[in-house]
Structure 1
């Protein structure tokens, strides 16, 4: 886990043409997305694709990611951050902000960490930092095979989109959750630090994964 210093970030929504500033406290973030190898080991199950252990796990829903965070926390003797019931929309998932376990980053934490003190469209030249439609060959690649940002975080742009904790806009989209970062199938427009996407928390697709965070 990489220590991320406190700061602030200005978020933008292109659809509504609005922006808002968020104060971000210090936290820890994994240097790359959760891999297939780690995901299936923590779940104590055989990997359906054992030949690709270092690629980011995909086809995982937001609810799957929350469950994984709790399983990993328990495996390491930490207090799980989440509790949940049976709501198919995930609306009953609660977040214990005082817990020391693993969790999803907030949207503000994600973009703040992605930018790593930069203010441009992305933190480096696209082909150097990301697997995207122009260089991926249409497949997701092993983690940490592109250049990291200034804080040592790989694959924040490209390779796979990453689930965040936040609801996108509950007044309009109900339970839809945010994901960030662009993926291996995306054009450059999708591979930007500020690009926001959303979907139902049960969505599973082949270029959507997640990385874990912890509070200090």
Structure 2
């Protein structure tokens, strides 16, 4: 993997990953194209610099931003794209992504070069970084979880990264992904990945999927950004 100079993004090669869902006992394999993924979750400092807002209850610019909905994350991606002169990845309906039909109505322009949320396949592919185990290293070395966090949020990049240079893929905050969790059963609920600072060790695994309504704002949920790369 390589760092894209100046913006904290790691280029990830195309590949395939097998996802699984414990609830339905289903597994499926997904191919992913080349993309870039932020080496850490979006921080409170960056979120405030781009949006002028400081959500959540924790104080500290290098802490992951938390208390953000899926819709907040989508809006941030478009705002960051506009700041950096990129084509926004999302077309958001007039009532916003948190409106009655907003999450369902937000469209991803897959040809855009702007920032976006990773798909859950991209997320797991990057989290595993070529490994096949539940975690890419000893949990206490790589993640802030209930057993070592002191039941609080921690600054990003404080634990050892995976082999591709990505920090906090497990623990600290759960991360919003683009995907619907199971639309036939849960409607517009979106996928969360990675586990958080208050989670027991079994939730901090590469394969664990969590779901939530896209309007949820809670103190252990944040996100990181991705970009589609040519090729």
**TM bracket (short chain):** over 0.9
* Alignment pair present for 1:205 and 2:205: no
Runs of 4+ off more than 3 Å: 45-51
* Alignment pair present for 1:131 and 2:144: yes
Which of 49, 52, 62 is the equivalent residue of 1:54? 62
Specify the alignment match of 2:123 in structure 1. 110
Structure 1 unmatched runs, 5+? none
Specify the alignment match of 2:161 in structure 1. 148
2:136, 2:58 → 1: CA distance? 32
CA shift digits 1:31-71 (9 cap, x unpaired): 00000000011002467779500000000000000000000
Give the C-alpha shift of residue 88 in structure 1.
Answer: 2.7
Which of 16, 28, 32 is the equivalent residue of 1:24? 32
Equivalent residues of 1:177, 1:199 under 8 A apart: yes
Q: How many residues align?
A: 216
What is the TM-score normalised by the length of structure 1? Answer: 0.97
* Alignment pair present for 1:215 and 2:228: yes
Equivalent residues of 1:37, 1:47 under 8 A apart: no
SS at match of 2:16: strand
Inter-CA distance 48–128: structure 2 relative to 1 (3 Å threshold): closer
Equivalent residues of 1:177, 1:200 under 8 A apart: yes
What is the TM-score normalised by the length of structure 2? Answer: 0.91
Specify the alignment match of 2:172 in structure 1. 159
Which of 156, 165, 182 is the equivalent residue of 1:169? 182
1:52, 1:160 → 2: CA distance? 15
Give the C-alpha shift of residue 83 in structure 1.
Answer: 1.0
Specify the alignment match of 2:15 in structure 1. 7
Structure 2 unmatched runs, 5+? 1-8
* Alignment pair present for 1:92 and 2:70: no
Q: CA RMSD in A?
A: 1.3
1:27, 1:5 → 2: CA distance? 7
Specify the alignment match of 2:87 in structure 1. 79
